[in-house]
Structure 1
Amino acid sequence: MATDQTFVDFILSQLKLVGDVSAKKMFGEYGVYANGKLFGLVCDNKLFIKPTSAGRAFIGEVVEAPPYEGAKPSFLIEDRIEDRQWLSELVRLTVEELPEPKAKKEKKK
Protein backbone atom coordinates (compact mmCIF):
# COMPACT_ATOMS: atom_id res chain seq x y z
CA MET A 1 0.00 0.00 0.00
CA ALA A 2 1.47 3.34 -1.01
CA THR A 3 1.35 6.40 1.19
CA ASP A 4 -1.43 8.96 0.65
CA GLN A 5 -0.32 12.52 -0.10
CA THR A 6 -2.81 13.62 2.60
CA PHE A 7 -0.81 11.70 5.23
CA VAL A 8 2.48 13.23 4.06
CA ASP A 9 0.92 16.71 4.22
CA PHE A 10 -0.29 15.96 7.76
CA ILE A 11 3.22 14.93 8.85
CA LEU A 12 4.73 18.08 7.32
CA SER A 13 2.14 20.26 9.06
CA GLN A 14 2.92 18.55 12.39
CA LEU A 15 6.59 19.47 11.93
CA LYS A 16 6.21 23.19 11.11
CA LEU A 17 7.90 24.02 14.44
CA VAL A 18 11.10 22.33 13.23
CA GLY A 19 11.67 24.81 10.40
CA ASP A 20 12.55 23.84 6.84
CA VAL A 21 10.90 20.41 6.51
CA SER A 22 10.08 18.78 3.18
CA ALA A 23 9.22 15.42 1.67
CA LYS A 24 10.51 13.88 -1.55
CA LYS A 25 8.85 11.02 -3.35
CA MET A 26 11.15 8.00 -3.39
CA PHE A 27 10.17 4.66 -4.93
CA GLY A 28 6.46 5.23 -4.31
CA GLU A 29 7.02 6.35 -0.71
CA TYR A 30 8.54 9.50 0.82
CA GLY A 31 11.81 10.63 2.37
CA VAL A 32 11.38 13.39 4.97
CA TYR A 33 14.06 16.07 5.31
CA ALA A 34 14.83 18.86 7.77
CA ASN A 35 17.42 21.45 6.81
CA GLY A 36 18.63 19.19 4.01
CA LYS A 37 19.09 16.09 6.21
CA LEU A 38 17.09 12.94 5.58
CA PHE A 39 15.75 12.05 9.02
CA GLY A 40 12.83 9.78 8.25
CA LEU A 41 10.60 7.93 5.86
CA VAL A 42 6.87 7.78 5.36
CA CYS A 43 5.91 4.32 4.14
CA ASP A 44 2.44 2.76 4.06
CA ASN A 45 1.05 5.80 5.90
CA LYS A 46 3.45 5.27 8.81
CA LEU A 47 6.22 7.56 10.04
CA PHE A 48 9.69 6.09 10.56
CA ILE A 49 12.50 8.13 12.13
CA LYS A 50 16.19 7.27 11.83
CA PRO A 51 17.47 5.83 15.10
CA THR A 52 19.82 8.00 17.15
CA SER A 53 20.96 7.88 20.77
CA ALA A 54 19.23 11.19 21.54
CA GLY A 55 16.01 10.00 19.90
CA ARG A 56 16.08 6.72 21.81
CA ALA A 57 16.57 8.55 25.13
CA PHE A 58 13.78 11.02 24.30
CA ILE A 59 11.25 8.37 23.26
CA GLY A 60 11.96 6.01 26.13
CA GLU A 61 10.08 2.87 25.16
CA VAL A 62 11.02 2.59 21.50
CA VAL A 63 9.14 0.60 18.85
CA GLU A 64 11.42 -0.32 15.96
CA ALA A 65 10.45 -1.73 12.59
CA PRO A 66 11.87 -1.67 9.07
CA PRO A 67 10.05 0.85 6.84
CA TYR A 68 10.22 -1.57 3.91
CA GLU A 69 11.44 -5.10 3.29
CA GLY A 70 15.20 -5.35 3.61
CA ALA A 71 15.63 -2.00 5.37
CA LYS A 72 17.34 -1.43 8.70
CA PRO A 73 14.91 -0.91 11.60
CA SER A 74 13.86 2.66 12.36
CA PHE A 75 11.78 4.19 15.13
CA LEU A 76 8.12 3.64 14.25
CA ILE A 77 6.13 6.64 15.47
CA GLU A 78 2.43 5.93 15.90
CA ASP A 79 1.14 6.74 19.38
CA ARG A 80 2.36 10.35 19.57
CA ILE A 81 2.05 11.40 15.94
CA GLU A 82 -0.71 13.86 16.89
CA ASP A 83 1.51 15.56 19.51
CA ARG A 84 3.10 18.33 17.45
CA GLN A 85 5.42 19.57 20.24
CA TRP A 86 6.71 16.09 21.09
CA LEU A 87 7.18 15.07 17.45
CA SER A 88 8.99 18.31 16.61
CA GLU A 89 11.38 17.87 19.54
CA LEU A 90 12.11 14.28 18.48
CA VAL A 91 12.94 15.45 14.96
CA ARG A 92 15.09 18.33 16.24
CA LEU A 93 17.11 15.95 18.45
CA THR A 94 17.44 13.43 15.63
CA VAL A 95 18.56 15.96 13.01
CA GLU A 96 21.07 17.46 15.44
CA GLU A 97 22.75 14.06 15.87
CA LEU A 98 22.76 13.05 12.19
CA PRO A 99 25.86 13.85 10.11
CA GLU A 100 25.76 16.58 7.51
CA PRO A 101 24.75 15.32 4.06
CA LYS A 102 27.64 14.57 1.73
CA ALA A 103 28.25 17.15 -0.96
CA LYS A 104 27.00 16.02 -4.34
CA LYS A 105 29.61 15.68 -7.04
CA GLU A 106 29.17 17.85 -10.09
CA LYS A 107 28.16 15.98 -13.22
CA LYS A 108 30.75 15.93 -15.97
CA LYS A 109 29.66 17.46 -19.24
Structure 2
Amino acid sequence: MASKQSTVDYILEQTATAGMVSARKMFGEYAVYCDGKVVALVCDDQLFVKPTAAGKAFIGDSETGCPYPGAKPYLLISGDQWDDSEYLTRLISMTAAALPLPKTKTKKKKT
Protein backbone atom coordinates (compact mmCIF):
# COMPACT_ATOMS: atom_id res chain seq x y z
CA MET A 1 0.00 0.00 0.00
CA ALA A 2 1.48 3.35 -1.00
CA SER A 3 1.73 6.22 1.44
CA LYS A 4 -0.53 9.23 1.05
CA GLN A 5 0.94 12.56 0.02
CA SER A 6 -0.99 14.17 2.91
CA THR A 7 0.94 12.02 5.42
CA VAL A 8 4.28 13.13 3.98
CA ASP A 9 3.16 16.77 3.84
CA TYR A 10 2.19 16.65 7.53
CA ILE A 11 5.55 15.18 8.56
CA LEU A 12 7.40 17.82 6.54
CA GLU A 13 5.26 20.55 8.09
CA GLN A 14 5.97 19.25 11.60
CA THR A 15 9.75 19.12 10.98
CA ALA A 16 10.13 22.31 8.93
CA THR A 17 12.53 23.91 11.43
CA ALA A 18 14.87 20.89 11.61
CA GLY A 19 16.83 22.17 8.62
CA MET A 20 16.21 21.95 4.91
CA VAL A 21 13.59 19.18 4.89
CA SER A 22 12.05 17.65 1.80
CA ALA A 23 10.69 14.36 0.54
CA ARG A 24 11.10 12.42 -2.65
CA LYS A 25 8.78 9.76 -3.95
CA MET A 26 10.47 6.42 -4.50
CA PHE A 27 8.67 3.25 -5.58
CA GLY A 28 5.32 4.48 -4.27
CA GLU A 29 6.82 5.43 -0.90
CA TYR A 30 8.86 8.42 0.25
CA ALA A 31 12.36 9.23 1.46
CA VAL A 32 12.59 12.17 3.86
CA TYR A 33 15.67 14.36 3.55
CA CYS A 34 17.17 16.83 6.00
CA ASP A 35 20.06 18.96 4.80
CA GLY A 36 20.62 16.65 1.83
CA LYS A 37 20.72 13.43 3.88
CA VAL A 38 18.10 10.68 3.90
CA VAL A 39 16.97 10.63 7.53
CA ALA A 40 13.70 8.73 7.31
CA LEU A 41 11.32 6.76 5.13
CA VAL A 42 7.55 6.97 4.97
CA CYS A 43 6.18 3.57 4.01
CA ASP A 44 2.56 2.44 4.34
CA ASP A 45 1.83 5.77 6.08
CA GLN A 46 4.32 4.94 8.83
CA LEU A 47 7.42 6.96 9.74
CA PHE A 48 10.70 5.04 9.92
CA VAL A 49 13.70 7.09 11.12
CA LYS A 50 17.25 5.92 10.47
CA PRO A 51 18.72 4.59 13.70
CA THR A 52 21.63 6.58 15.12
CA ALA A 53 23.16 6.54 18.60
CA ALA A 54 21.88 10.08 19.21
CA GLY A 55 18.38 9.24 18.03
CA LYS A 56 18.19 6.09 20.14
CA ALA A 57 19.40 7.98 23.22
CA PHE A 58 16.85 10.73 22.60
CA ILE A 59 13.79 8.53 22.24
CA GLY A 60 14.86 5.82 24.67
CA ASP A 61 13.19 2.44 24.45
CA SER A 62 11.45 2.51 21.10
CA GLU A 63 9.83 0.18 18.68
CA THR A 64 11.72 -0.75 15.55
CA GLY A 65 10.43 -1.98 12.24
CA CYS A 66 11.47 -2.64 8.68
CA PRO A 67 10.07 -0.19 6.15
CA TYR A 68 10.16 -2.81 3.38
CA PRO A 69 11.10 -6.49 3.08
CA GLY A 70 14.83 -7.02 3.42
CA ALA A 71 15.51 -3.61 4.99
CA LYS A 72 17.49 -3.11 8.17
CA PRO A 73 15.42 -2.12 11.22
CA TYR A 74 14.57 1.56 11.55
CA LEU A 75 13.12 3.46 14.51
CA LEU A 76 9.34 3.31 14.11
CA ILE A 77 7.77 6.58 15.22
CA SER A 78 4.11 6.20 16.09
CA GLY A 79 1.50 8.52 14.61
CA ASP A 80 0.62 10.11 17.95
CA GLN A 81 4.22 11.34 18.26
CA TRP A 82 3.94 13.20 14.95
CA ASP A 83 1.77 15.83 16.60
CA ASP A 84 4.66 16.88 18.86
CA SER A 85 6.52 19.14 16.45
CA GLU A 86 9.36 19.90 18.87
CA TYR A 87 10.00 16.20 19.53
CA LEU A 88 9.92 15.25 15.84
CA THR A 89 12.05 18.23 14.84
CA ARG A 90 14.73 17.37 17.41
CA LEU A 91 14.78 13.72 16.35
CA ILE A 92 15.12 14.55 12.65
CA SER A 93 17.72 17.25 13.31
CA MET A 94 19.94 15.04 15.48
CA THR A 95 19.60 12.14 13.05
CA ALA A 96 20.77 14.36 10.19
CA ALA A 97 23.68 15.64 12.28
CA ALA A 98 24.81 12.07 13.04
CA LEU A 99 24.72 10.86 9.44
CA PRO A 100 27.54 11.38 6.94
CA LEU A 101 27.03 13.45 3.82
CA PRO A 102 26.00 11.36 0.81
CA LYS A 103 28.78 10.41 -1.55
CA THR A 104 28.81 12.34 -4.79
CA LYS A 105 28.33 10.21 -7.83
CA THR A 106 30.95 10.51 -10.53
CA LYS A 107 30.02 10.21 -14.14
CA LYS A 108 31.63 7.40 -16.06
CA LYS A 109 33.67 8.49 -19.02
CA LYS A 110 32.64 7.04 -22.32
CA THR A 111 35.42 5.17 -24.05
| TM-score of the superposed pair, with normalisation by structure 2 | 0.93
Q: Secondary structure at the match of 2:92?
A: helix
Matched residues in 1 for 2:108 and 2:35: separation? 23
**Preserved CA contact (<8 Å) 2:19 2:93:** no
Residues 34-71 of structure 1: per-residue CA shift (max 9 Å, x gap): 11000110000010000000000000111100011111
How many residues are treated as equivalent by the alignment?
109
Within the alignment, does 1:42 sit opposite 2:42 as a pair?
A: yes
**In structure 1, the residue corresponding to 2:81 is in which secondary structure?**
coil
RMSD value over aligned CA atoms? 1.1
> Secondary structure at 1:69's aligned position in 2?
coil
Match of 2:87 in 1: 86
4+ residue stretches of structure 1 with deviation over 4 A? none
Unpaired runs of at least 5, structure 1: none
Alignment of 1:21-36 (within 5 A): 21-36=21-36
SS at match of 1:68: coil
The corresponding residue for 2:6 is: 6
**Structure 2: which amino acid aligns with 1:57?**
A
**Aligned-pair CA distance for 1:19:** 2.2
Secondary structure of the residue aligned to 2:95 is helix
SS in 1 for 2:96: helix
